[in-house]
Amino acid sequence: MKKNVIVGQSGGPTAVINASLYGVVYEALNREDVFGTVYGMVNGIEGFLNGKVMDMEPLEQSGELELIRTTPGSYLGSCRYKLPEDLNDEVYPKLFEKFAEYGIGYFFYIGGNDSMDTVSKLSRYAEKVASDIRFMGIPKTIDNDLVMTDHTPGYGSAAKYVASTVREISLDASVYDNKKSVTIVEIMGRNAGWLTAAGALARKYEGDNPVLIYLPETAFDPERFIEDAAKAMEKVSNIVVCVSEGIHDGKGTFICELASDVGVDTFGHKMLTGSGKYLENLVKEKLGVKVRSIELNVSQRCSSSMLSGTDLKEAVASGAYGVKCAAEGATGKMIAFKRLPGEDYRIDYVAEDVNLICNQEKTVPLEWITEDGSDIGKEFIDYAFPLIQGEVSVPTKDGLPLFAYRK
């Protein structure tokens, strides 16, 4: 008898995590020779434990699956549930009983570091109990911080969103070019600066905004920043600065913590503000020029307006490739991208050992960051440029993007 398939999504959403879901489901539904029913787990492994499961086939028949491909967010819902380290914990047999109940032979989990941890644990438990269920990880994260892969699905679209938005903010900031000003753009990325670095792609010509870019890979010195900003305004009246939310002083303190130490609201709560807000006040105090800070916020991971064609294609393909590998017997692997040498951008899809990937973090190489820590070099541009290429036309209805959602 053919074994069934189950697929889930976990962690924060991206613009293309549903494209990978599409890839898994489409491929699995079209391999009727290998797979039985294709299930989706609602709200990840946590929802699955509570019996929240749906049949995915009707979505293909209704045309909804095609719409899922370009819908941001997690169609199946997500969770942040960490499986216990101890493989003797009672949750494991409970999960595997549920797998048996649904006749599951293939398990696909689309997510980042933590989700790969789930794949790792389940595949190790399967080995322990001699289960033949195959566990595969499909990568996704706007943070681009997974190791053993050239990049991750989700990053290209987020980078394209950041680059185009910073380009637009730079136009907006420059309209009063007879007066000096500082615009600080705070970009997601606690420990890895990949997304903040994408601000560099916004430049239309050499010397264009953003003139300063600070990543969390190096220590951030507020005084040095004020000097950098003052110097930059000698050349460009209205400067735009990209900072990662995770910039820190190199001694264990995030810059955003400097602000939240002091502000207390009506309820006595710390006023949690970001690094951008702190720097806004710093510029006001030290330079006395017009200043504004902008937090790009969740649109970085959920905007469908700047989908990268390359990213979308790779997200679908990594889901489909995961299914192929599982059909051929792979388990305990994550689909990864290997960039091929040569002028033109090409990648190979490979399956890497998920145990070597989970709970690790890939940061921007220090040698790609300029020596003074205030910009990113050509190596990054060469790396990121192909990932934001290609436009995607999202279906629209009544003037707005049309999205799939669970009814």
Point out the residues that are catalytic.
Answer: 143
Of the two residues 124 and 292, which places its CB atom closer to a second copy in the complex? 292
Residue 108 C-beta: closest distance to a second copy, Å: 18
Of the two residues 61 and 266, which places its CB atom closer to a second copy in the complex? 266
Nearest to 262 by CA among 231, 285, 296, 234: 285
Return the half-sphere exposure (C-beta side, CA atoms, 13 A cut-off) of residue 297: 4
For 34, other C-beta atoms within 10 Å of its C-beta total 17
Q: Please provide the distance, in angstroms rounded to a whole number, between the alpha carbons at the two ends of the chain.
A: 31
Of the two residues 146 and 291, which places its CB atom closer to a second copy in the complex? 291
For 112, other C-beta atoms within 10 Å of its C-beta total 26
Q: Are 321 and 336 in contact (CB under 8 A)?
A: no
Of the two residues 103 and 401, which places its CB atom closer to a second copy in the complex? 401
Residue 332 C-beta: closest distance to a second copy, Å: 26
Of the two residues 213 and 306, which places its CB atom closer to a second copy in the complex? 306
- Where does residue 366 fall: left (phi above 0), alpha (psi -120 to 50 degrees), or beta otherwise? alpha
Of the two residues 219 and 262, which places its CB atom closer to a second copy in the complex? 262
For 30, other C-beta atoms within 10 Å of its C-beta total 13
Residue 366 C-beta: closest distance to a second copy, Å: 26
Burial pattern 9-25, b for ≥16 Cβ within 10 A else e, equals bbbbbbbbbbbbbbbbb
Q: Residues for the chain: how many in total?
A: 407
Residue 167 C-beta: closest distance to a second copy, Å: 6
H-run or E-run covering 247: none
Residue 109 C-beta: closest distance to a second copy, Å: 15
Structure tokens at 4: 């069934």
Q: Are 157 and 198 in contact (CB under 8 A)?
A: no
Which residue has 């995030």 as its token pair? 254
Residue 204 C-beta: closest distance to a second copy, Å: 7
Structure tokens at 207: 């010397």
SS3 of 28-67: the string is: HHCCCCCEEEEEEECCHHHHHHCCCEEECHHHHHHCHHHH
Residue 356 C-beta: closest distance to a second copy, Å: 28
Q: What is the dihedral of CA 66, 68, 70, 73, to 10 degrees?
A: 180
- Where does residue 203 fall: left (phi above 0), alpha (psi -120 to 50 degrees), or beta otherwise? beta
Of the two residues 133 and 142, which places its CB atom closer to a second copy in the complex? 142
Cis amide linkage into residue 210, ω under 30° from 0: yes
